[in-house]
Amino acid sequence: MIIRLFLIGLLTVSSSGQAVQSVNPPGLLPADIAGALLQQDPGVAAARANLDVALQEAGILDRSPYEWTTTVMGQRRVQNYGPNTSTGNRSEWHAGIERTIRLPGKAVADRSIGNATIEESQARYGEARHEAARELMTLWIDWLAAERGRELAENSLQSTQVSLAAVQKRVRAGDASKLDLSIARAELAEQRRLDNDAKTQAAAAWSHLSTRFPGMKRQVIALPMPLPIGEDVAFWRDRIMAQSDEFKVVQTQMQKTQAYAERARVDKVPDPKVGLYQASEIDGRERISGVMLSIPIPSSVRDLRSAKATAAVEVSIQEVELKKRQLESKIVSAVVIARGAYVSLQIANEGAAAMQENSRLMQRAYALGEAELQAMLLARRQATAAMTNALQAQVTALAAYYRLLVDAHLIWGLEHG
């Protein structure tokens, strides 16, 4: 009850899906360490660099794609109208400057495309951090779980060594057969193999984590216990959807598609070209100045391009709706799995405690000559299996719990303002 009230106090949020405070459950990797590892991740760094690309792209779109064009032409006029008229070569030139003018509606559409490009890049940066956080969380839990598995294997090995000593004592007393001693030694060899496998898995898990996130320091702590999910599905759905960068990506893509459609619509009217020119003819005896205006005659291709862009908007709208349903279904499933995994963990812990007690009693009974070796070994195997199952249940419940916190951006500074 205390844990539930603690979590509710941390996660209090209005139904409108406003931001809530970050949580820091016991045993969680500290935010400063996780934040530094995420910032150094190549995928996050690439997405961060892509923000500059988007800003440059928006700057390009904000400016007109047209440039001033200058023309200079020189010519020589030869006059020869007959014997009774003056003849000769006349120098002439023509100079002008012109530029295509982007219409105001097109400038607005281009700026909308640029803004959508920036927002999409920002969403992709957030999604890169989110995915890196999920991977860090998974690898960190896997490593701690492997270390815990190594501890369980060591404990089981020590218990088997104690059992072997008890068998040897009974053999010397003539109360056990050499077959029992052979079985006990075989059991010890099997536990040594399992202990080596557990050490190998722990070393491999650390290698994977430290290679993927090189700045990680090897500080082994106890595998944290997950907290119960104290909020309803609606809370998690609203919170995660409001924070989802994956959803923001498709939303910004839709906005960009709409901006492109508006750009195609206004592009049905061609941009005019204006210019000024001046000319000199007949050795400067004639001076010409003028203004030039040219407007392309639009063809049906412009209408077709606009229709295509408008149709693409409908596709984008449906993609947003599809992504929304997919994410909501995943969120609901994740909450159900997290709650079920937490209950399974409690059951597994109860079973493991009972099996451990049973193994302890059988160990004592065998030492007193009140139980057979096979019964003692069976009890130990059952206790080992129960502890392994409890560890796996803890890993599953913890991963499901932390995954909700990561998706909701409640840890490691992932939240948006």
Cα–Cα distance measured from residue 24 to residue 19, given in angstroms and rounded to the nearest whole number: 16
pLDDT at residue 80, as a whole number: 67
Please tell me the least confidently modeled range out of 182-191, 235-244, 277-286.
Answer: 277-286
Cα–Cα distance measured from residue 229 to residue 217, given in angstroms and rounded to the nearest whole number: 30
Give the residue, 143 or 368, on which the prediction is more confident: 143
Residue 83 lies in a domain: no
pLDDT at residue 36, as a whole number: 94
Residue with tokens 């407007």: 295
Give the closest residue to 221 by CA, choosing from 327, 162, 287, 145: 145
Cα–Cα distance measured from residue 359 to residue 357, given in angstroms and rounded to the nearest whole number: 5
Residue 250 lies in a domain: yes
Give the pLDDT band (50/70/90) at residue 284.
Answer: confident
Other beta carbons less than 10 A from residue 393's beta carbon: 21
pLDDT at residue 10, as a whole number: 38
Give the residue, 6 or 199, on which the prediction is more confident: 199
Residue 402 lies in a domain: yes
Residue 244 lies in a domain: yes
C-alpha dist (Å) from residue 24 to 28, 178, 413: 7, 56, 11
Give the closest residue to 402 by CA, choosing from 41, 29, 14: 29
* Mean pLDDT taken over the chain: 89
pLDDT at residue 3, as a whole number: 35
- pLDDT, tens digit, 9 for 90 and up, residues 300-313: 999 999 999 999 99
CA 398, chain centre distance (Å) = 19
Please tell me the least confidently modeled range out of 18-22, 291-295, 314-318, 382-386.
Answer: 18-22
CATH number of the CATH domain containing 155: 1.20.1600.10
Determine what percent of the chain is predicted with pLDDT higher than 70.
Answer: 92
Residue 233 lies in a domain: yes
Q: Looking at the predicted structure, is the pLDDT value of residue 400 above 60?
A: yes
Residue 81 DSSP label:
-
DSSP 266-332: HTTSPPPEEEEEEEEETTTTEEEEEEEEE-----HHHHHHHHHHHHHHHHHHHHHHHHHHHHHHHHH
pLDDT at residue 385, as a whole number: 92
Residue 382 lies in a domain: yes
Mean pLDDT of 65-84: 80
Residue 326 lies in a domain: yes
Please tell me the least confidently modeled range out of 128-137, 292-301, 322-331.
Answer: 292-301
For the chain, what is the radius of gyration of the CA atoms?
A: 38
Q: Looking at the predicted structure, is the pLDDT value of residue 12 above 70?
A: no
- pLDDT, tens digit, 9 for 90 and up, residues 206-233: 999 999 999 898 988 999 999 998 889 9
pLDDT at residue 78, as a whole number: 75
Cα–Cα distance measured from residue 230 to residue 208, given in angstroms and rounded to the nearest whole number: 33
Q: Give the length of the chain.
A: 417
Domain hosting residue 172, numbered range: 2-68+103-269+301-407
pLDDT at residue 14, as a whole number: 35
pLDDT at residue 86, as a whole number: 58
Q: Looking at the predicted structure, is the pLDDT value of residue 336 above 90?
A: yes
Total domain count for the chain? Answer: 1
Residue 84 lies in a domain: no
pTM reported for the whole predicted model:
0.83
- pLDDT, tens digit, 9 for 90 and up, residues 155-197: 999 988 988 888 888 888 887 788 888 888 998 999 999 999 9
Give φ, ψ of 79 to 5 degrees.
-105, 125
Residues 167, 180 contacting (CB under 8 angstroms): yes
